[in-house]
Structure 1
Amino acid sequence: MERLVSASLRQIQYVLAVYETGSIAKASRDMHISQSSILAAIDNAEQDLGARIFDRRKGRGVVLTAMGERYLAAARRLLSAEREFRHSLLISGTPHGPLRIGCFEPFGPIMMIDVLRKLRERIGYFEITLLETDQVSLKRALDRGEIDVAVIYDLGPDFDCTIEYIGRAPPHAMVHVDSPLARHDEISLEQLCREPISLLTLPLTTTYLMTLFDYTSQKPTIGFRSSHYETVIRAVSSGFGGTILNAWPANPLPTEANTKRLRLLEDLPAPNIVTADHYGDQKPPNLIEFIAELKEHVALGYRHLTPS
């Protein structure tokens, strides 16, 4: 007699997340759900399999069993098929179908709301889900089929899918309006280093930003650190010192009061903003429209970096 599968697709995704993160606690944080929900998903999956999927060992997190390997291999095939099924429905749908977007966390306040507002004004209302997180988590979400597209920098993990160039994001400075540097429209890194630096500490971002200071003989004094883009801006606004940023919004953020963005004189390495998706050349209509709107918005924002 065939065994019935009681675990839902969502619960199967939870089990896969436990394997990918190495622990129930990390999977809970990554998926933004309770540990009890993760444990319930594992229990249901193990009942379906009739065997243990994980050995839970103190100090080692979870260890995949041989039967667990078979289960996860089948789970990946099932989730891939589900994603293809959903893609087929979206491609044959209308431009007003739902769109699930993931973006590198700073992009949320900087550009996503403005882009999506203009998109809705142009093509009409449609349901939007926005996931704002780091790029490693975005890769997982895209591979699991939890988002339709990721808006990222071309730094960090390799997104094995369709990549589309949106625009270059050269580094620039931000200082308090009372800083002597605010009298200029462009400054050097050496000048910026005369002030304490407020540093954005998202994964991969810190390494990139600190590498930029290798282009000057004067090393920075880090006076403040935060993993949140808007918190770093608030720190500059409150007189904590200057900072280096990449994303330049088309319109100033509310948190930018008492600050000024400045071009940097040096020709510094710059990441590109790109989108990643699994649709290839069969993107649903509203995703095509979203990417076009995003390109226009990014180009508008970075006009500030071209001296007049």
Structure 2
Amino acid sequence: MHSSPFTLRQLEYFVAAAELGTITAAAQSCFVSQTAVSLGIAELERVLGVQLLMRQRAKGIALTPAGRRLIRDARALLGEAEQLSARAAEDSAGLSGSFGLGCFTTLSPFILGSLMIEFTRQFPHVSLDIQEDDQPMLSEALLAGNLDVAILYDHLLPDGLDRVPVLEARPHVLLPTGHSMADQPTVSLVELAREPMVLIDVSPSRENWAAMVNSLGISPQIGIRTRSFELTRCLVSEGFGYAVLLQRPMTTTTYTGSGVVVKEIREDVAPRRIIAAYPSELRSTKKIETFVDFARAHMPQH
């Protein structure tokens, strides 16, 4: 194995000088002398055989064309070295610190509670920072680096996210207890299409529903649109229509005190995949890997 002709410290000096514009500012940022920065950059230029910086009297320094080509790779290499150090620290000291976890709003009541209890029991030094939102907002938070992992439906996600399947959910129909089809073993979405429907109008729930009805060639009659899972159940229980849902609460009683009936769908409808997503450009850290493996093993089967 050949040793590198330059050091990470020399790259650090070069990046600091390029970003801050002067050797003096770079030296202060790196907590070394100006001479150390100048000598480090000069040695980097010597071993690479190119001039990286132009020293301009009274104007500081500027990148040469070769320097502009190198700066992006230098930043990436320093970032990878920092992650390597962090992973080694995690391995030696155990998991600790904050962990940003997002979850799609209709999934969170069914998933987060039991996951958080067991995860914090196994990893007591990790502090979970929770964000519940719709998928566009959670995707944006992931790509902006504000979340480590989010639990989402594998539908309409932007590029730049790695995805690990953790669970599948099969759609079902929710009816009021007095509905004419409440005693049938299964119900047909084609037959229900003539009746009013209560739709959860939040992405990707509405897109999941649209893909399902398009595959069946039906046009349901939307009666009421909501953004709340529990309000949807309440409205169904009071006879405002039926609903097609993915999550299944442990109880059939709603907040109004009325009941609902859960029915399997007679037509062949595909299950929806639930995934753990994290930014592709952020190399998976030990905490991300540990949480994803944990989620796959402990995901509640509702």
TM-score range, shorter chain: 0.5 to 0.7
Q: Tell me the distance in 2 between the aligned counterparts of 1:143 and 1:164.
A: 16
* Residue number in structure 1 paired with 2:233: 233
RMSD across aligned positions (CA): 3.7
Q: Which amino acid aligns with 2:100?
A: R
Q: For the structure 1 residues 180 and 119, does the alpha-carbon distance in structure 2 shift closer, same or farther, using more than 3 Å as the test?
A: farther
Cα deviation for residue 242 of structure 1 reads 1.1
* Residue number in structure 2 paired with 1:153: 153
Q: 1:166 aligns to what SS in structure 2?
A: strand
Cα deviation for residue 255 of structure 1 reads 4.4
* Residue number in structure 2 paired with 1:283: 285
Q: Tell me the distance in 1 between the aligned counterparts of 2:108 and 2:81.
A: 27
Q: Tell me the distance in 1 between the aligned counterparts of 2:136 and 2:99.
A: 21
Q: Tell me the distance in 2 between the aligned counterparts of 1:254 and 1:127.
A: 34
Q: 1:118 aligns to what SS in structure 2?
A: helix
Q: Which amino acid aligns with 1:111?
A: I
Question: Is the Cα contact below 8 Å between 1:162 and 1:278 reproduced in 2?
Answer: yes
Radius of gyration: which is bigger? 2
Q: For the structure 1 residues 289 and 2, does the alpha-carbon distance in structure 2 shift closer, same or farther, using more than 3 Å as the test?
A: closer
Q: 2:213 aligns to what SS in structure 1?
A: helix
Structure 1 residue 113 and structure 2 residue 113: aligned?
Answer: yes
- Larger mean CA deviation between 251-260 and 178-187 belongs to 251-260
Residues 48-79 of structure 1 show CA distances to partners (whole Å, capped at 9, x for unaligned) of xxxxxxxxxxxxxxxxxxxxxxxxxx9xx99x
Q: 1:98 aligns to what SS in structure 2?
A: strand
Q: For the structure 1 residues 95 and 183, does the alpha-carbon distance in structure 2 shift closer, same or farther, using more than 3 Å as the test?
A: farther
Q: For the structure 1 residues 85 and 194, does the alpha-carbon distance in structure 2 shift closer, same or farther, using more than 3 Å as the test?
A: farther
Q: For the structure 1 residues 233 and 89, does the alpha-carbon distance in structure 2 shift closer, same or farther, using more than 3 Å as the test?
A: farther
* Residue number in structure 2 paired with 1:101: 101
Q: Tell me the distance in 1 between the aligned counterparts of 2:80 and 2:252.
A: 36
Q: Which amino acid aligns with 2:200?
A: L
Q: 2:170 aligns to what SS in structure 1?
A: coil
Q: Tell me the distance in 1 between the aligned counterparts of 2:125 and 2:260.
A: 35
Cα deviation for residue 232 of structure 1 reads 1.7
Cα deviation for residue 114 of structure 1 reads 2.2
Question: Is the Cα contact below 8 Å between 1:175 and 1:260 reproduced in 2?
Answer: yes
Q: 1:101 aligns to what SS in structure 2?
A: strand
Question: Is the Cα contact below 8 Å between 1:197 and 1:243 reproduced in 2?
Answer: yes
* Residue number in structure 2 paired with 1:15: none
Q: 1:130 aligns to what SS in structure 2?
A: strand
Q: Which amino acid aligns with 1:284?
A: K
Question: Is the Cα contact below 8 Å between 1:223 and 1:241 reproduced in 2?
Answer: yes
Q: Structure 1 unaligned runs (5+)?
A: 5-73, 302-308
- Identity across the alignment (%): 21
Q: Which amino acid aligns with 1:283?
A: T
Q: Which amino acid aligns with 1:202?
A: V
* Residue number in structure 2 paired with 1:64: none
Q: Tell me the distance in 2 between the aligned counterparts of 1:252 and 1:197.
A: 21
* Residue number in structure 2 paired with 1:37: none
Cα deviation for residue 253 of structure 1 reads 8.4
Q: Which amino acid aligns with 2:286?
A: P
Question: Is the Cα contact below 8 Å between 1:92 and 1:284 reproduced in 2?
Answer: no
Q: Structure 2 unaligned runs (5+)?
A: 1-19, 26-70
* Residue number in structure 1 paired with 2:131: 131
Question: Is the Cα contact below 8 Å between 2:200 and 2:227 reproduced in 1?
Answer: yes
Q: Tell me the distance in 2 between the aligned counterparts of 1:276 and 1:260.
A: 33
Residues 148-196 of structure 1 show CA distances to partners (whole Å, capped at 9, x for unaligned) of 0011111113342321111222221112223233324432212433542
Q: Which amino acid aligns with 1:276?
A: A
Question: Is the Cα contact below 8 Å between 1:174 and 1:261 reproduced in 2?
Answer: yes
Structure 1 residue 92 and structure 2 residue 93: aligned?
Answer: no
Cα deviation for residue 245 of structure 1 reads 1.4
* Residue number in structure 2 paired with 1:181: 181
Q: 1:181 aligns to what SS in structure 2?
A: coil
* Residue number in structure 2 paired with 1:68: none
Q: TM-score with structure 1 length normalisation? A: 0.61
Q: Which amino acid aligns with 2:285?
A: K
Question: Is the Cα contact below 8 Å between 2:99 and 2:128 reproduced in 1?
Answer: yes
Q: For the structure 1 residues 293 and 185, does the alpha-carbon distance in structure 2 shift closer, same or farther, using more than 3 Å as the test?
A: farther
Q: Tell me the distance in 2 between the aligned counterparts of 1:246 and 1:278.
A: 26
Q: For the structure 1 residues 212 and 125, does the alpha-carbon distance in structure 2 shift closer, same or farther, using more than 3 Å as the test?
A: same
Q: Tell me the distance in 2 between the aligned counterparts of 1:182 and 1:125.
A: 49
* Residue number in structure 1 paired with 2:274: 273
Tell me the matched-pair count. 230
